[in-house]
Amino acid sequence: MKTNRYVACVNVLCAILLLSLFSGAQTQIDPSSSGQGPPKESGSFRKPELVELIKLDRTIKLDIRYATSNNFLGRAVYKEARAFLQRPAADALVRANKVLRKNGYGLIIHDGYRPWSVTKIFWDATPADKKEFVADPSQGSRHNRGCAVDLSLFDLKSGKEVVMPSEYDEMTERSHINFVGGTPEATRLRDMLRVAMEAEGFAVYEPEWWHYDYKDWKEYPILNIAFSEIGALQTSR
């Protein structure tokens, strides 16, 4: 009987110890590191000023795939088909569009500012061997800062989007900015887009010919607000 009571006491003490250790570990978890929210940032940032692109230049076309099921997820993650960038990036994009229009082409936007929560959805849904095509939510995305844009060209005469070496959001080697296997015309158009964007302070993300980051992206904070809340953000900060 004494032996049984001794064993029972030891088991109870072990259970209490394990419970206290688990509880202590739980209280130390940072929500941002466990995927419950954006990463915490230190330092000073510019005041966000997200601008709706078509309000700056109505000749820019929108094809916001993430507001539809026509994307790599197969479902909509935006409630509204809208595109925003921080004002300096938006102004630079308008200038690039004007240059391209002189050559018979216009910009068509697939995505701009992206809430952090959507970046998390993309990361969780993407296989490990394709992670280079999505941003790590623990670091945040330049889309989350309002300084990245996904875009292509459309022909001014036909109004149709041009053919590039790969489809938008295609997770293959054909999407790389230096892929050499496309048709001469597709390569020419891809390179034309790059020249126009780089002249205005954008840099291409090499695995994706459609993704461009504005030069001042580090100066803006990671944001996690819906499109419908952007107006309130501008007035409250």
Catalytic residue among 198, 208, 219, 229: 208
Using the predicted structure, report yes or no on whether residue 16 has a pLDDT greater than 60: no
What is 106-126 written as a DSSP string? EEEEEE----HHHHHHHHHHS
CA dist 37 and 116 (Å) reads 8
- Could you tell me the pLDDT band of residue 42, with boundaries at 50, 70 and 90? confident
Over the chain, what is the mean pLDDT?
Answer: 87
What's phi and psi for 109, nearest 5 deg? -100, 130
Q: Do 233 and 174 form a contact (C-beta atoms < 8 A)?
A: no
The answer to whether the pTM exceeds 0.85 is no
Residues 51, 125, 174, 147: what is their CA dihedral angle, to the nearest 10 degrees?
20
Name the DSSP letter for residue 177. T
Burial class (CB in 10 A: 0-12, 13-18, 19+), 223: buried
Full set of structural domains in the chain with CATH:
50-236 (3.30.1380.10)
pLDDT in tens, 207-224: 999 999 999 999 999 999
* Single-letter amino acid, residue 50: L
Q: Do 185 and 163 form a contact (C-beta atoms < 8 A)?
A: yes
- More confident site: 157 or 4: 157
Section 22-26 average pLDDT:
31
Using the predicted structure, report yes or no on whether residue 74 has a pLDDT greater than 70: yes
- More confident site: 237 or 84: 84
Section 159-186 average pLDDT:
97
User: Tokens representing 194?
Assistant: 């790059």
- Could you tell me the pLDDT band of residue 43, with boundaries at 50, 70 and 90? confident
% of the chain exceeding 90 in pLDDT = 79
Tell whether the torsion through CA atoms of 234, 203, 68 and 154 is positive or negative.
positive
Using the predicted structure, report yes or no on whether residue 12 has a pLDDT greater than 70: no
pLDDT for 46: 92
% of the chain exceeding 70 in pLDDT = 82
User: Minimum mean pLDDT among 94-98, 202-206, 229-233: which range?
Assistant: 229-233
Using the predicted structure, report yes or no on whether residue 150 has a pLDDT greater than 80: yes
Catalytic (active site) residue 170: no
- Range 187-221 burial, b when 16+ CB lie within 10 A, else e: bebbebbbebbeebbbebbebbbbbbbbeebeebb
pLDDT for 144: 98
